[in-house]
Structure 1
Amino acid sequence: MGTKVLSIDTFRGWLADGEELAVLDIRDPSVVGYASPLFATNLPTERVLSEIGRFIPRHVVRTVLVDGGDSSGERLVEELKAAGRPNVFALAGGIPAWTASGEDLPTFDIPGVDFSVAIKNEKNTPVTSVEELKALREAGEGVVVIDTRTVPEFARDHVPGAISVPGAELVLRFKDVVPSESTKVVVSCAGLPRAILGAQTLIDAKVPNPVSYLHDGTKAWTQAGWQLETGKTRTYGAATKVAREFAREHIEALGKGDNLPTIDIATARQWATDPDRTTYLLDVRTPEEFAEGHLDGSLSSEGGQLLGVAYRTIAVRGARVVLIDDLLGVRARTVAHWLQRRGYEIAILLVAFDAGQLSDVA
């Protein structure tokens, strides 16, 4: 076996040694599906050379390429080493060999479903079935369905009448989308993870409304034989002053007991250039806000997605993660509340994006 090929036994040791390690699943996204068996960051072969820096900023980080058993990883290793990445290896046999090895323990992070179900069991998160939701509506009960997925996912299909508020935005936008304290709130997604975490976020933030999650979301709705709605029928808008004041109060309840250091821009810059440690600067605001202005070197990483599939962005295991938000910090604190429980080392950076800090933003 060549030096550029890593045995499964050696790889298993690397996964457990606590040192920084990046794992890239270089198969086509259509083959990988929702998640790689290794919780590897999916970066298909044709994009590795041009985009690897986004996912693995430090060139010296141990990096393992996992292919579909076609040796494409081995070919890429030589190109990456020529590009200045000396510690890149291909996993022998790729995903087929890893799967055949019988390894069934999580190698990074916690599966989204497993984590959310554990939270549901710990907190006894209330649940509403699609049949119960339909009955509530037919009875004329005041109920709001909030879809906590990304806006593009919502536009593809959603429970009729739902409003799109991605997970990290829930506390910030809550007062603008829920008309009264007596309104029942049902949080939905395509299945379970983001709905459970969304509902529990609101409950832990001590909103006054009765809150539950919609069991199996859009999946259950279609299984019941009912049609989903499509398009951007109802989406969140700019948070009003009232909504922001409500969020300021309730994020304190959510974060009670959290141990989340807050850093300044100078510290973030220092960490990002540390030659011995990887640091991600992740802007958890909306993509539209990021496009209007952001810190140089930061990545747009919508908070709701980080809640469910952090490994799609955070490829280096053992890295520091800085979550960037506006001065209110509701999105960053929401995401940090859950990611810290999943074992990530988190710090928060709050930036006055509206205060003309042009020397600090790109």
Structure 2
Amino acid sequence: MTTYPVRTYEEVRETLLARREIALLDVREEDPHAQAHPLFAASFPLSKLELDAYTRLPRRAVPIVLFDAGEGLAQRAADRLVALGYTDVALLAGGLDGWIRAGGEVFRDVNVPSKAFGEFVEARRHTPSLSAEAVETLLRNGDDVVVLDARRFDEYQTMNIPGSISVPGAELVLRARALAPDPRTRVIVNCAGRTRSIIGTQSLVNAGLPNPVAALRNGTIGWTLAGQTLEHGSARQFDPQAGLDPHNLAASRDAARALAGPAGVGRTTLDEAARWAAEASRTTYRFDVRTPAEYEHAHAPGFQGAPGGQLVQETEMFAPARGARVVLFDDDGVRANMTASWLAQMNVEAYVVDDATPQDLTASGTWRGARPEPAPTPRIGAEELAALLAKPSNATLVIDVTSSANHVKAHIPGAHWIVRSRLSHAADDLRALPDAKRYVVTCATNALAPYAAPEIAALTGKPVHVLEGGTSAWIRAGLPTETGDARLASPRIDRYRRPYEGTDNAREAMNAYLEWEYGLVAQLDRDGTHGFFVI
């Protein structure tokens, strides 16, 4: 077993305070990560490491510190990262328990730096807000009100305030003047909980929108707890041309640029950002903060799509190397400057690309991050697998390593689901499966299965194949699927169930979540490493 350097709590804390680069990575699955972790620890599950590493850690020499809670995952993650070419990999002394014993503060939930920052902003700026009851009264009375939902469109479609319009966070300053052209119109910003409504509302206040603006206090959680009815399946979205007329665009651009300067946002060019990204001594992230549709139509090479509202909401997921540079691009002068102003206040070194032209946007399609080549494994087609499964011998067993949510929604009949990180001699998940002469490994799109298959072959000594095209290919072939959780070989720890998503959350969970958010500012004070400020 390879021995790796060890970094103590004190060393990690000093690095954070000095704003030197560090990627503190929790390699457990998302649910245990959400139960307790340091403030700036990014969820980086061992099970998906090869899929994420080259995108989320673009510089091979980035200082990495890994931890788990004693499961042995950090050692395995270190082995994999070194095999992928990372050169500065260390383990956290004592893991999570060592952090706690040394006096380190631990936080619950996910995207904690961003959520804590939202509470910090509200506490410092006294962001205006209205209760769910007050907003419902305004709507019922037919007052001059527009409700703007700052979440992703798919979240909005799940549940929304009646009559609201989907305007994801980075779009608010760009679009609000057109969506509420009468300055007497009251603008209400909401999300599911608190963070995006606070940041969205404060963005409009900071940008000088002449309208009265308020956050819907506690978002759709507050609406639900007040006993009020939500809509479901709504499709109302902002007009893509909203806010782009010369008058509104100039006002929004001037306001955004005026905020970026005092926040400490730097200016750069596409060429300089490309040179920075190639440096071996410093990590540079490059993000295009426009809408997914705009990004997919055309974007600058090397820039990852990261809609600005989500980038502020999930900063540590997009850019887990704390202390790195972050370069933002838009084509309007509003969204990148607004997003950068918030990142800078989160103690992130942020830059905005100036003077780019449409001719610079030579790439298209979704982001395709580099991934390592998996070890070669024999492939099998959907029809051939169906024929094998139809034989009475039951000699072939399908193992599904997709997300548990995908598996429960639809899987190959008889397939057993396993969390890939629990494929080891120390776990009983694989040994608990029915006996088989051969295994076929699948996932949703064949992204993860090729990495898991060689591990299953090594652990079982049996022939292992990968399903070509994954379960998606099986479905496209018109073959039958099952639903449900009857064959879960592992616990569903791969995803933390957020108390603010979906429509069937218990009132106790929603209330507990709100109480947790209220306490984040005090936790920030105890932790002391955040460096947040407000302008």
Pair in the same fold by TM > 0.5: yes
Q: 1:315 aligns with which of 299, 315, 320?
A: 320
Q: Which residue does 2:145 correspond to in 1?
A: 143
Assess, with a 3 A threshold, how the Cα gap between structure 1 residues 190 and 176 changes in structure 2: closer, same or farther.
Answer: same
Q: Which residue does 1:335 correspond to in 2?
A: 339
Q: 1:356 aligns with which of 359, 377, 392?
A: 359
1:284-329 superposed Cα distances (whole Å, 9 cap, x missing partner): 1111111112222211111001222311111112111100111x22
Deviation at 1:51, TM superposition (A): 1.9
The answer to which of 247-256 and 38-47 deviates more is 247-256
Q: Which residue does 1:30 correspond to in 2?
A: 31
Structure 1 residue 296 corresponds to structure 2 residue 298: no
Assess, with a 3 A threshold, how the Cα gap between structure 1 residues 123 and 77 changes in structure 2: closer, same or farther.
Answer: closer
Q: 1:357 is matched by which residue type in structure 2?
A: D
Q: 1:277 is matched by which residue type in structure 2?
A: R
Q: Which residue does 2:351 correspond to in 1?
A: 347
Q: Distance in 2 between matches of 1:149 and 1:351?
A: 29
Q: 1:50 is matched by which residue type in structure 2?
A: L
SS of structure 2 residue aligned to 1:187: strand
Q: Which residue does 1:199 correspond to in 2?
A: 201
- Tell me if the contact between 2:289 and 2:307 (Cα under 8 Å) persists in the aligned partners: yes
Q: Distance in 1 between matches of 2:215 and 2:106?
A: 28
Assess, with a 3 A threshold, how the Cα gap between structure 1 residues 148 and 56 changes in structure 2: closer, same or farther.
Answer: same
Q: 2:238 is matched by which residue type in structure 1?
A: Y
The answer to which of 226-235 and 139-148 deviates more is 226-235
1:87-138 superposed Cα distances (whole Å, 9 cap, x missing partner): 11232443344345431289xx983344333333433322111111111122
Structure 1 residue 282 corresponds to structure 2 residue 287: yes
- Tell me if the contact between 2:260 and 2:337 (Cα under 8 Å) persists in the aligned partners: no
Q: 2:305 is matched by which residue type in structure 1?
A: S
Structure 1 residue 72 corresponds to structure 2 residue 77: no
Deviation at 1:150, TM superposition (A): 1.3
Assess, with a 3 A threshold, how the Cα gap between structure 1 residues 185 and 17 changes in structure 2: closer, same or farther.
Answer: closer
Q: 2:157 is matched by which residue type in structure 1?
A: A
Q: Distance in 2 between matches of 1:36 and 1:234?
A: 38
Q: Distance in 2 between matches of 1:13 and 1:204?
A: 33
Structure 1 residue 39 corresponds to structure 2 residue 43: no
Deviation at 1:34, TM superposition (A): 9.3
Deviation at 1:279, TM superposition (A): 0.7
Q: Which residue does 2:452 correspond to in 1?
A: none
1:115-126 pair list within 5 angstroms: 115-126=117-128
Q: Distance in 2 between matches of 1:34 and 1:244?
A: 48
1:148-184 superposed Cα distances (whole Å, 9 cap, x missing partner): 1111221222222211111110011213432532211
- Given the two structures, how large is their TM-score scaled by the length of structure 1? 0.89
Q: Distance in 1 between matches of 2:314 and 2:306?
A: 11
Assess, with a 3 A threshold, how the Cα gap between structure 1 residues 236 and 50 changes in structure 2: closer, same or farther.
Answer: same
- Tell me if the contact between 2:300 and 2:360 (Cα under 8 Å) persists in the aligned partners: no
Task: Report the aligned-residue RMSD.
Answer: 2.6
- Given the two structures, how large is their TM-score scaled by the length of structure 2? 0.62
SS of structure 1 residue aligned to 2:360: coil
Q: Which residue does 2:448 correspond to in 1?
A: none
- Tell me if the contact between 1:150 and 1:166 (Cα under 8 Å) persists in the aligned partners: yes
- Tell me if the contact between 2:177 and 2:209 (Cα under 8 Å) persists in the aligned partners: no
SS of structure 2 residue aligned to 1:111: helix
Deviation at 1:238, TM superposition (A): 0.9
- Tell me if the contact between 1:206 and 1:254 (Cα under 8 Å) persists in the aligned partners: no
Q: Distance in 2 between matches of 1:242 and 1:14?
A: 43
Structure 1 residue 273 corresponds to structure 2 residue 275: no
SS of structure 2 residue aligned to 1:57: coil
1:164-243 pair list within 5 angstroms: 164-178=166-180, 180-240=182-242, 243=245
Deviation at 1:35, TM superposition (A): 8.6
Percent identical residues: 35
Deviation at 1:258, TM superposition (A): 3.3
Q: 1:347 is matched by which residue type in structure 2?
A: Y
SS of structure 1 residue aligned to 2:314: helix
Deviation at 1:20, TM superposition (A): 1.4
Q: 1:87 is matched by which residue type in structure 2?
A: D
- Tell me if the contact between 1:248 and 1:330 (Cα under 8 Å) persists in the aligned partners: no
Q: Distance in 1 between matches of 2:208 and 2:137?
A: 26
1:49-85 superposed Cα distances (whole Å, 9 cap, x missing partner): 2321111111111111222320111012122213321
Q: Count residues in correspondence.
A: 357
Unaligned regions of 5+ residues in structure 2, if any? 365-535
Q: 1:127 aligns with which of 114, 124, 129?
A: 129
